[in-house]
Structure 1
Amino acid sequence: MLVIDRPTAQAALSISDAIPIAASALRAYSAGDVDQPLRTIIRPDGIDDLMGVMPCYVGGEASLGFGLKAMVLKPANPARGLDLHVGVVIVFDPDTGLPLALIDAGAITAVRTPAVTAVATDLLARKNAGDLAILGSGVQGRGHLEAMLAVRAVRRVRVWSRTPMHSERFRAWAWSHLGVEVEVHPTARAALEGADLVCTTLASKEPVVSDEDVAPGAHLNAIGASFADHRELASAFVRRCSVFVDSRASARAESGDLIVPEEEGLIGPDHVLAEIGEVLLGRHPGRRRSDESTLFKSLGLAVEDVTVGFAIAQAVRDKGLGTVIKFH
C-alpha cells in the first residue's frame, strides 16, 4: 500500500490535470455507473466536532472499483494552525481488493473541488464571462481562481473575506504565484457588483449573497455550505436561478441553500434542472439564454475524491514516490 502525504499528492496532480478526471467522475455518476450512498455524518452530543464517511464503487468503463473518504471536522484546528477538515482517502486494488493507497484527503479536496467547479463553469457560464468575484480567500478561494483561469479568459478578479488580512494575503499570493492582479473589496456586495462569474467558498450558516447583489446572466458556483444547516445564498437569489448540482440526492438531503427556499415555499422539488453529469451526457442543454442566471451547487461526492485518488496513486507510483507499506 502506498502512503501519500500532502506534498507528494499536491505534486502529483494539478487542478488543470484534474479537470477531465472530474468530468469523467461526474459523467459516471449521472450515467448510473457509481454505487454511492449518501455520506454518513456522526455528530456526537456535547461537542462541535463531526466525522463524515463517504464510500463508493466506480464501475462502467472506468471500472476503478472501491474507495472511500473519511474526514473529521475540528473547529478548534485553525487556532492550532491545522486544517478545519482532516482525513484520508483510501482506494482499493480493483483485482485483489487490497488497499492500494492511503492519501491525505486535504490534498485531494483542494484539487478535486475546483476541478469539478471548472467543469460546471465551462458548461454553464457565458463564453465571454471573465469578471470574477471570489468570496472567501482560503485554500478553496485560491484553488477556484486557478480553476476559473483554466476555463475562461478572466479579465478582472475581486475578492472579499470576513478577515481583511486574509484578502490581502490572497492578493499577494495571486500575484506571486499566478501573476494575476486582484482587487480587495470591503464587503461581499462590493465584490459582487457587476461580476458575471462568481465563486462562493464560505463555510457560513447564514446567507452572504443577496438576490440584488448578483448581475443578471451571471454564473455562480456555490461551494462552501455543504450541510443542511449552512447557507451562502439568499432564498430569493436561488429562486431566480437555473440550478444545477453534482448530485440530486445529495442536494435534497444536504444543501441548506436549496432546502430552506423549498421549506419557505419559494421553489419546488423540481427547481434543480439537472446534474452536471447529465449535461455532460447531453441529457440537458445547460445554459439556454445569455441573460439566464445559472447556479451550480456543489456538495462534493465520494466518486470525485475516489476517482482523483486513483489518478494520484497512479501518478505517484509511476514516479516512484510515496511510502510503501507491506499490508499483506
Structure 2
Amino acid sequence: MERSELAVFGAQEVRDLLDYPSCIEVVREAMMALSRGETRQLLRTMIHMGEGRTFAQMPGALSDQGMFGAKMISVFAQSDNPGVRRHRGLVTMFEPVEGKPVCVADAEEVTHIRTAAATAVATKAMARDDSRVLLLMGTGGQVHSHLEALPLVGTFERILIWGRTPARAQSVVDVWRNRLPVEVATDAQAAAVEADVICTLTGAHSPVLLGEWVRPGTHVNVVGSSGPGPVEIDNDLVAASRFIADSRASALDAAAEFLAAKAAGLIADDHIVAEIGEVLLGQVPGRQTADEITLYKSLGHAVQDLAAAAHIFEKHQSRIKT
C-alpha cells in the first residue's frame, strides 16, 4: 500500500503555524483574489439537524491551478450556555498536480484566527485613521481572537468589552488587562456612543446594536451571524451604513441583517456597495467621508479558510525541509 503523506494539524499546530500578522496578509490576498475572479467557491451549504445544530460545507479552489479543498464544520449550541455556539470541524486540502489530499487542519482554530484577521483587514481599509476607541460586543472565543488581531492594524487607547452577562465580560478583561487597555462596558448604548470601531461577535438572535446609538464616522464589523435568521444589528443601522460584504454572492444569500432590512423594504440589492476585495484593489472606496458610517459584513467564505490552510501546509513543508 502507498504510504500516507497526509499532514494533520491539530489546534495547537494551527496556532503555531498561523500567526496573526501572517494570517492578516493571507486573508487580504485571498479577498482580492476572490474579487478578481481568480478563485472558485460554492456558496456555503447547511444541513440543519434540530435546534442549535448545523452541519456546514464550504468547498473551493484558490485558483484553477492552485490548491483546493473544503471546510466541513459543525455549529452546535452549548448545552451549558445556549447563547454560545461552538464550531468544530476540518479543513481538508488537495494539491493541484495529482489531486492528492495533502493536509487536514482543525477548522475551529482556523476559523477563529482567519475571522479576526478578516475583520482586521476590513477595519484597516474602512475605519477612520484617527479611531481610538474600540468596542467588542461578545464574550466568546471570537473576542479573544479579535483582541489579538485588531491592535495590529489600529492604535486603540481604550478597548471596551460588552457582554449580555457582565461577569463574562469581566472575565475577558481579566485575561487581557496586562496586555491591552481593556475595560468592561456595562451599558451597550453608552459604549456604542463612545466607540470609533464596533465589532459584534455574538450569537444573538435579535439586535444587540441599534442604529440610533452609532455616531457618524463609526466603522462597524458585523461578524457573529453567519446565516439567515439571527441578527446582531437592527434594520436602521443597515440602511444608514455604507455596506461592504466579504462576498456579494454570499451576502445576498445568507447575510441575515442585510436580508432583514431588504425584507422590510428599506434597501435593495444595490445597497451592497462592494466586496472588501474591490476596496482593497482600489476599485471602490471603502470610506468616502469622515462622517460616513461604514459597515463590513463578515460571513466568512471558503477561500479564506483554504488560503489559511494552504499557508499552514506550506510553512510546515518549509520547516521539514530545513
Q: Are residues 1:43 and 2:48 paired? A: yes
8 A Cα contact 2:78 2:85, kept in partner: no
Q: What letter is aligned with 1:221?
A: N
For 2:109, the equivalent position in structure 1 comes to 107
Deviations 1:225-280 (A, max 9, x none): 11110101110111110000100111011111100111101111110100000111
Q: Secondary structure at the match of 2:233?
A: coil
Which structure has more RCO (C-alpha within 8 Å, separation ≥ 6)? 1
**Unaligned stretches of 5+ in structure 1?**
322-328
Q: What letter is aligned with 1:137?
A: T
For 1:189, the equivalent position in structure 2 comes to 189
Structure 2 CA distance for aligned equivalents of residues 204 and 64 of structure 1: 37
Structure 2 CA distance for aligned equivalents of residues 271 and 55 of structure 1: 27
Aligned-residue RMSD, C-alpha: 1.8
For 1:174, the equivalent position in structure 2 comes to 176
For 1:55, the equivalent position in structure 2 comes to 59
Structure 1 CA distance for aligned equivalents of residues 94 and 79 of structure 2: 29
Of the structure 1 ranges 295-304 and 35-44, higher mean CA displacement relative to structure 2 is found in 35-44
Normalised to the residue count of structure 2, the TM-score between the two structures is: 0.94
Q: What letter is aligned with 2:62?
A: V
Structure 2 CA distance for aligned equivalents of residues 144 and 188 of structure 1: 18
Q: Are residues 1:3 and 2:29 paired? A: no
Q: What letter is aligned with 1:50?
A: T
For 1:278, the equivalent position in structure 2 comes to 278
Deviations 1:124-179 (A, max 9, x none): 00111121001012221111122220111111111101122221111111124xx1
Aligned residue pairs total 315
Structure 2 CA distance for aligned equivalents of residues 65 and 138 of structure 1: 32
For 2:3, the equivalent position in structure 1 comes to none
User: For 1:10-25, what aligned pairs fall within 5 Å after superposition?
Assistant: 10-25=15-30
Normalised to the residue count of structure 1, the TM-score between the two structures is: 0.92
Q: Could you tell me how far 1:181 is from its partner in structure 2?
A: 2.3
Deviations 1:79-108 (A, max 9, x none): 69x971110001111212111110000110
Structure 2 CA distance for aligned equivalents of residues 157 and 79 of structure 1: 25
Deviations 1:9-46 (A, max 9, x none): 101111121111001110011111111111110113x4
**Unaligned stretches of 5+ in structure 2?**
1-5
Q: Are residues 1:74 and 2:76 paired? A: yes
8 A Cα contact 2:220 2:294, kept in partner: yes
Deviations 1:176-209 (A, max 9, x none): 4xx1121102232132122111111011111111
Q: Secondary structure at the match of 2:284?
A: coil
Q: What letter is aligned with 2:208?
A: V
